[in-house]
Structure 1
Amino acid sequence: MTGQLFDVVLVANRGEIARRIIRTLRGLGIRSVAVYSEADRGAVHVREADVAVCVGPAAPAESYLRIDAIVAAARDTGAQAIHPGYGFLSENAAFARACAAAGIVFIGPGAEALEIMGDKIRSKNHVAAAGVPTVAGVSEPGLDDDALVAAAAGMDYPLLLKPSAGGGGKGMHVVCTPGELPEALATARRVAAAAFGDDTLLIERLVERPRHIEVQVLADAHGTVIHLGERECSLQRRHQKVVEEAPSPTLDPAGRARMGEAACRVARSVGYTGAGTVEFLVPADRPETFWFMEMNTRLQVEHPVTELVTGVDLVEQQVRVAAGQPLGLAQEDVVLTGHAVEARLYAEDPARGFLPTAGTVLALQEPSGPGIRVDSSLAEGLAVGSAYDPMLAKIVAWGAAREQALDRLDLALADTVVLGVGTNTEYLRALINDAAVRAGDMDTTLIERRLPELVFTAPDETHYAAAAVFLQRRRPADRPRSEDQGPWSRPDGWRATGRARPAVVLAHWLEEPRRTVVDGSVRLTPLPGRPHAHLLEANGTSRVVHLAAAPAGDSVWVGEDGFAVELAVLSREQQLERALAALERTAGTAAPELHSPMPGTVVAVPAATGERVAEGQTVVVVEAMKMEHRLTAPTAGTVDVLVRQGEQVKLHQLLARVAPDVPHATGAAQDTGAAPAGAAQDTGAAPAGPAPSADPTAEEQSA
């Protein structure tokens, strides 16, 4: 097919990117086909598509990564083309070939470009031959661990270990000393094999404190290759982008032209077609210098900032190029206007080491207004699990100048309300208001340097009071009739000592349970037209808070200005259990326990029951939302492992115990990832305090 646009396009992805592609298809008058796993049956992209097809169970390998199922869905629905989005099959050459064999257009580059640029070793050697500078390192295929260790012996540490077949930071490890290299190699190979089906690794000299700048390219099948400027992606945590912006505050027009031409040279060298991104490392103190890092042969998560400053719909261009049409613009037509910044909203808890979170969205308010764009997968009632990427939405702001864009983004994040699932909203606000970020003085290590200084909000007395009043109002309607059998059961009924003052016992994972009395000192007024918003008046002040209760009534969420917290509602039995557990922990000895910091899958069990382990030795590895977490022994001793590889585990589930070599105070278990009294395991609240033994070793794929 050449020239004429498609009638039907299948979107081989999920979540916010599927919705974003469907939006452009609808604007072009093209019918859309969504695919979904059984876990995504109620997802928003399924509802918005013209047709939806279930392709398998929740596990990606059995649904979104099944080439045969995706191609069959396209054939059965009459789709002439498939848009892969990003992640999953978007950079899979076998998928592109399967589409071609079925007579279906793959909306992306050719298989050869996918193969060359999808392999970091091959791509690095390829672009070096094309005259593009690369980072020094070991990039030879087929090297085993011993060969890599031997090659690293001649290099200066720190080093960066990278899967050759991967992207988006997954499986990448900074190795600071030779002693760390063997375990890092084993972990990286496991992650690479699971995520990409290829455990080939390469080693590069770590460029310390670089800027990460990428260039958006567009190319058609008629020989035209242009770039649409650059994006600054230096704000990263563990090699995973958090905030992106366009243009970069460090490049001048001459530097932009040089980097743009290098990116176009990379694209031409592989006969690229469609939209792609060439990523560079730039020394923070020498912006005129840059090294090729990789090429992403797909749409990027952060593409909205480029669209906002150029006015170009990148998905539309992808569709038109795939249909055989020439690009409708030349390099001189590309003009960057204003500034745009994007923040990624994740299901994670920054206060607990960025552990993944899960739950059901009880309340949702997404921002709007001048210059604001939201690409989101969220909806009230949506269940957020641990099977997929933790990114929930992207909040994007445009402004005439960078400062205005940042100010608008800050206000947009303050207006973002997600109750029922923990998010990183408060952390994003702190990040974009950091003095260095505001000054444009950024590098890829800035977040790690700033994290120890961050202080996250804890719920104050008025948050507890608001939750108590909110719950007290709900209880008469929610209580079963069998519970209301007489005047003594009424919480506000008359007593010989005077009218009873209703009280609610609430618990937050950072604090001891609190008994909150509903005594009229706090007024809570629902705001018309905003189902979950209330005017909270207390201590002579007023502010707007958002409230939502879990369906079972065992917790209530309170949100305000980007901050949100879950407060567990404790019954008398749960209060007694906590009190007894606290008493038991003060006497005798006990084996420190390792509890799962999140729901997930056991992907490795390096230690066996009865084995003696050293302090800090990995005992169990749990994966959730494309992140691995190592549970390590808090003390030397004999381990008792209670789970098997491949087993699904729940939040707080006991995974292993370590019997110490010497008598060990039971209270120390609180520092090992064990769930102490106050963790409220029966209420769904998060465990008390961060768990040092849960070590995130790999980030999610940029998908």
Structure 2
Amino acid sequence: MTTEATGPTRVLVANRGEIAVRVMRTLRRLGMGSVAIYGDGDATARHVRAADTAVRVGGAELADSYLNGPAIIAAARASGASLIHPGYGFLSENAAFARACAAAGIGFVGPPPEAIEAMGDKIGAKSTVAAAGVPLLPGFTERPGHPMTDAELAEAAAEIGYPLLVKPSAGGGGKGMRLVHEPGDLTAAVAAARREALAAFGDATLLVERFVSRPRHIELQVLADAYGGVVHLGERECSLQRRHQKIVEEAPSPLLTPTQRAAMGEAAVAAAKACGYVGAGTVEFIVATTAEAAEPEYAFLEMNTRLQVEHPVTEAVASVAGRRGIDLVELQLRVALGEPLPFCQTDLDIEGHAVEARIYAEDPARGFLPTGGPVLLLGEADGTEARVDSGISEGTDITSAYDPMLAKVITWAPDRAGALDRMDTALARYTLLGCDSNVAFLRRLLCHPEVRDGRLSTDLTERLRRELSAADSEIPEEVYAAAALDRQLALEPVNPSADRFDIPDNWRVGSNAWTLWRLHASGHAPLAVRVRRATAATSPEDTYEVQVGEAPPRGAGARRGDGDRSLTVSYAGRVVRYARALDGDTLWLGHAGATWHLREEAVLTPMGDAETAEDGTLRSPMPGTVLSVAVQRGDRVTRGTAVLVIEAMKMEHAVSAPVDGVVTRIDVDTGQTVGMDAVLAVITPDAAAAPAGDVTTERDPEG
């Protein structure tokens, strides 16, 4: 669909990041003007530069900017925008904002407020779709404003049977969800879910459902116009998740047959009709697969009344009258302008297979904890073999203020194996230096036999995490060699008579022209690497001798290129071209989707895999803000006791006591901003103390 849209010529995009840039791409193609909004700190962000015009709507806090409905509507009026596209997240499912847009005479690119309210309340949504014949999981709900007592909860839970999933009625995306395996755990889980639900949504009402072990998460894309036309565009498999958040999606699902797809599609259409839906939306199902069942059993999970993060895979495979590829944002705009759907269900088909991988600023080896930092170098394989929806560019500072999703990579092929192969190639070409990401983890996940065979479940990523992160536990010898060679190149004198070893920041050994570098990679002890000019090169590339740790010296060579943005290294007979960036004394190297960063100096306490040291020192596992401090100096604690809670990128991380002992130092206060590895507190351990793990809970991820 490429014809020029009629109606308003200017649309305000009430969002940021990759979805704002993606919406603006469609607006540009349709000849419609785009207006960006931004808060303090986002004035030079990619979405601002992508728009025709931009309006500041508030300060750095979300409540002052991207959640500031009155300021956004004022910006639309001031800029002459006649439509507001909310993207996803932020105000996209806010019925009050949709009504305020209508009151201001501005079109809202989304469903009617009544549909948002009907589906935004999980309890009400289930009642609505159940009346339309859509299957539900066994469960029970609280009445808004009337929380059940512990005794009432225990009695109702016993009737359903364990395990149970406790979750807030208002909201989604994993916020506040708690899995309860035993009756004795119910009270604590309910209290935690209420607390997080109230903080995130202002509503502590809970919904409790039977938990399905190792389910699959499958959703149906629906479209509806204002004239009663409703269609579905097939399903998306969204079972590869961590912390209840999707990281890989694909269409179609490798599980469903055409008959099952049609049945679930009919249920999705029925759900949309039941709430009077208009626009693009998604009906999500939980699917149980058992050996006893002849085919998968599905049940309604929730309906997202907005565009989904994973909508590009549907765009890639949906075929209209034999022509593959649609633009869901264009269809949203046309429906918002009062146009009917340009096709009916019989016009639609699925062609080929598409996969989407989400690029997150996170460290899978550390339990997917958020990371941050400046984007020093960025290379995105956007082209005929892959589509990249990105919200970052070089110079972007990735902080804990927003959701950690940075970009999405989408590939299509005639079959699933081909789409996965193309994804592996695209991820291998994706380079992000300056901030740790999940790119290498995604490559290993998508190459795992269970994923390649389509044996998916919502817990598969978590089950495979340690196995797939094992490759990150050791820095390859060749990477240390490359880092030392890069540092050595910086010493090469412009004046040949200069003493290239007379420098203060490394160690000179004897008079045999060796230079000794001490390199430190995060989570690893410093390693000594010696470099010198080769006396007898074994090949034209071997201009140096390099000794990594206790390994024998090897012939090596190195040269920089692309304006010092790349480093080509030959080492031990292998030639590798690394992406390269320098941030102060930290060198970043990237190759085939993996990244490493090494400093020229050692730290006092190597961290390893844990966030706490066995001597009782507690360090921050991520840059963030101290949310709470649960102890005081002089308190006696046992290992596993929650000492502090750090909040970053909408996630809480409870740092627990690693040993039995006495709190002898507390170095931070509530509300204080801390850096990664910053000392938080010190516990003087008892003699028999042993390490204990921490607990991570999702607080407010994107949908």
Note whether the superposition's TM-score is higher than 0.5: yes
The answer as to whether partners of 2:142 and 2:205 remain within 8 angstroms in 1 is no
Q: Equivalent residues in 2 for 1:532-681 (5 A)?
A: 532-550=565-583, 552=584, 554-570=585-601, 592-639=616-663, 641-660=666-685, 662-663=686-687, 671=691
Partner amino acid, structure 2, of 1:352: R
1:501 Cα deviation from its structure 2 partner: 2.6
Deviation sequence 1:325-381 (CA, Å, 0-9, x none)? 111111111121100000111100111111110001111111134331101112111
Shift in CA distance, 616/499, structure 1 to aligned 2, threshold 3 Å = closer
Which position in structure 2 is the counterpart of 1:456? 471
Aligned partner (choices 429, 435, 440) of residue 454 of structure 2: 440
Decide whether the 8 Å contact of 1:36 with 1:56 is kept in 2.
yes
Query: Matches of 2:629 and 2:66 in 1, distance apart?
Result: 27
- Cα distance in 2 for partners of 1:307, 1:389 equals 24
Counterpart-to-counterpart distance in 1, 2:493 and 2:88: 46
157, 162, 169: which is aligned to 2:174?
A: 169
Among 538, 543, 558, the residue aligned to 1:524: 558
For 2:288, the equivalent position in structure 1 comes to 283
Give the C-alpha shift of residue 164 in structure 1.
1.1
Please name the residue that 2:335 is paired with: 321
Shift of 1:509: 2.8
Name the CA shift for 1:643/1:534 in 2 (closer, same or farther; >3 Å). Answer: closer
Equivalent in the alignment of 2:132:
130
In structure 2, C-alpha distance between the alignment counterparts of 1:64 and 1:477, rounded to whole Å: 52
Establish whether residue 297 from structure 1 lines up as the match of residue 330 from structure 2.
no
Partner of 2:253, secondary structure, is coil
- What do the CA deviations read for 1:612-632 (whole angstroms, capped 9, x no partner)? 434322221111111111112
Q: Is the 8 A contact 1:263 1:278 kept in 2?
A: yes
How far the C-alpha of 1:475 sits from its partner, in A, is 5.5
Residue by residue over 1:509-529, the C-alpha shift from the partner in whole angstroms, topping out at 9 and shown as x without a partner, is 34321122232132123355x
Quick one: distance in 1 between partners of 2:381 and 2:243?
Answer: 28
Letter of the structure 2 residue corresponding to residue 303 of structure 1? H
Cα pair 1:491 1:501 within 8 Å, conserved: no
**Given that residues 519 and 598 in structure 2 are in contact (C-alpha distance below 8 angstroms), is that contact kept between their aligned partners in structure 1?**
yes
SS at match of 2:41: helix
Alignment of structure 1 residues 244-255 onto 2, 5 Å = 244-255=249-260
Q: For 2:680 and 2:126, how far apart are their aligned partners in 1?
A: 42
% of aligned pairs identical? 51
State the Cα distance separating 1:536 from its structure 2 match.
1.8
Supply the AA of the counterpart residue of 1:302: E
What amino acid does structure 2 have at the position aligned with 1:231?
A: R
Is the CA contact (8 Å cut-off) linking 2:486 and 2:567 kept in structure 1? Answer: no
Q: In 2 relative to 1, CA 371–492 (structure 1 residues): closer, same or farther, beyond 3 Å?
A: closer
Q: Report the AA paired with residue 501 of structure 1.
A: W
The answer to whether the 8 Å contact 1:87/1:701 transfers is no
SS at match of 1:329: coil
CA distance in 2, matches of 1:136, 1:199: 21
The code of the aligned residue for 2:654 comes to: R
Q: 1:49 aligns with which of 51, 68, 78?
A: 51
**Is 2:186 the partner of 1:181?**
yes
1:145–1:182 CA contact under 8 A, matched in 2: no
CA shift, 1:396, in A, is 0.9
What letter matches 1:71 in structure 2?
Answer: I
- In structure 1, what residue type is equivalent to 2:41? A
Shift of 1:76: 1.4
Matched, 1:143 2:147: yes
What secondary structure is seen at the aligned counterpart in 2 of 1:25?
A: helix
Unaligned runs of 5+ in 2: 319-324, 533-543, 545-554
Q: Confirm or deny: 8 A CA contact 1:217 1:277 kept in the other structure.
A: yes
Report the secondary structure of 1:204's partner residue. Answer: strand
- State the partner residue of 1:191: 196
Alpha carbons of 1:79 and 1:643: their partners in 2 closer, same or farther (altered >3 Å)?
A: same
Partner of residue 415 from structure 1, selected from 429, 453, 463: 429
- In the TM superposition, 1:462-541 aligns within 5 A as 462-474=478-490, 489=502, 498=511, 500-519=513-532, 520=544, 521-527=555-561, 532-541=565-574
Moved more, 361-370 or 623-632: 361-370
CA drift of 1:592 comes to: 1.3
Q: Kindly report which structure 2 residues correspond to 1:331-410, keeping only aligned pairs within 5 A, or say none.
A: 331-410=345-424
Q: What is the identity, as a one-letter code, of the residue corresponding to 2:307?
A: L
Counterpart CA distance in 2 for 1:400 and 1:252 is 17
- In structure 1, list runs of 5 or more residues that go unmatched: 583-588, 673-691
Taking structure 1 as reference, are residues 123 and 566 closer, same or farther at Cα in structure 2, changes over 3 Å only? same
Amino acid at match of 1:566: H
Q: Aligned in 2, Cα 1:603/1:510: closer, same or farther, shift over 3 Å?
A: closer
8 Å CA contact 1:209–1:443 kept in 2: the answer is yes
Map Cα deviations across residues 516-566 of structure 1 (whole Å, 9 max, x no partner). 2232132123355x862332211112122222111x2x2111111111111
Tell me how far apart the structure 1 counterparts of residues 309 and 502 of structure 2 sit (CA, whole Å): 55
1:69 aligns with 2:54: no
Q: How large is the Cα RMSD of the aligned pairs?
A: 2.7
- Report the counterpart of residue 35 of structure 1 in structure 2: 37
CA distance in 1, matches of 2:397, 2:509: 47
Asked if residue 234 in structure 1 is aligned to residue 233 in structure 2, the reply is no
The 3 A distance-change label for structure 1 pair 604 and 166 is farther
In structure 2, C-alpha distance between the alignment counterparts of 1:425 and 1:23, rounded to whole Å:
25
Cα 1:546–1:95 shift into 2, 3 Å: same
Other structure's SS at 2:450 match? helix
When structure 1 is superposed on structure 2, of 500-509 and 346-355 the one drifting more is 500-509
Answer yes or no: is the 8 Å Cα contact 1:339–1:401 preserved in 2: yes
1:686 aligns with: none
Distance change (3 Å), C-alpha of 1:194 and 1:527? same
Per the alignment, do residues 488 and 333 of structure 1 end up closer, same or farther by CA in structure 2, a change over 3 Å counting?
closer
Q: 1:645 to 1:525 in 2, by over 3 A?
A: same
User: SS where residue 471 of structure 2 aligns?
Assistant: coil
Residues 318 and 590 of structure 1: is their aligned pair in 2 closer, same or farther, counting only changes over 3 Å? closer
Q: Look up the equivalent residue of 2:517 and give its one-letter code.
A: V
Does the C-alpha gap of structure 1 residues 487 and 272 become closer, same or farther in structure 2, counting only changes over 3 Å? closer
C-alpha contact (below 8 Å) 1:363/1:420 kept by paired residues = yes
Q: Summarize the Cα distance change of 1:472–1:196 in structure 2 as closer, same or farther, 3 Å threshold.
A: farther
Mapped to 2, the partners of 1:531 and 1:260 lie a distance apart of: 53
Deviation at 1:609, TM superposition (A): 4.3
1:61 shift after superposition: 2.2
Q: Which residue of 2 aligns with 1:271?
A: 276
Q: CA deviation at 1:298?
A: 0.3
Q: CA–CA distance in 1 between the matches of 2:84 and 2:127?
A: 30
The answer on whether the counterparts of 1:275 and 1:314 sit within 8 Å (CA) in structure 2 is yes
- Of 298-307 and 231-240, deviating more is 231-240
> Does the CA-based 8 Å contact 1:240-1:700 persist in structure 2?
no
The answer to whether the Cα contact below 8 Å between 1:217 and 1:225 also exists between their aligned partners in 2 is yes
Q: How many residues align?
A: 657
Of residues 201, 217, 227, the one that matches 1:222 is 227
